[in-house]
């Protein structure tokens, strides 16, 4: 089985879509991740993701650690696919 595929409906604009069932789009100083669980906004600036800022849009609750690793991995893959180098900021970074 090959790598999951990422694509856009229109070249260079719009949401990045995965055949895994998620999308990633850019927001002001952040990215929005969406899948069947809902949407999460995560801070993103200067090629750095700030996962502690992750909040579910529908509930306003912080991104739980049980979902965090998978969601961050998917966001990173989408941003790298889109030509960015991405680092995840941690308090020890």
Q: CB–CB of 74/18 below 8 Å? A: yes
The answer to the question of residue 50 being in a domain is yes
Tell whether the model's pLDDT for residue 93 goes beyond 70.
no
The answer to the question of residue 59 being in a domain is yes
3-class DSSP state for residue 90?
A: coil
In tens, the pLDDT along 60-79 reads 888 878 888 899 999 999 99
Q: What average pLDDT score do residues 69-90 get? A: 91
Q: Please count the structural domains in the chain.
A: 1
Residue 21 belongs to what domain range? 16-87
The answer to the question of residue 1 being in a domain is no
The answer to the question of residue 41 being in a domain is yes
């Amino acid at each position: 089985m090959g790598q999951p595929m990422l694509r856009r409906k229109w070249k260079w604009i719009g949401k990045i879509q995965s055949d895994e069932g998620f999308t990633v789009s850019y927001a002001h100083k952040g990215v929005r991740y969406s899948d069947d669980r809902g949407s999460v906004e995560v801070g993103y600036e200067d090629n750095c993701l700030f996962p502690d800022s992750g909040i579910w849009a529908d509930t306003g609750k912080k991104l739980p650690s049980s979902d965090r690793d998978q969601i961050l991995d998917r966001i990173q893959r989408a941003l790298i696919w889109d030509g960015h180098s991405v680092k995840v900021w941690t308090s020890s970074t």
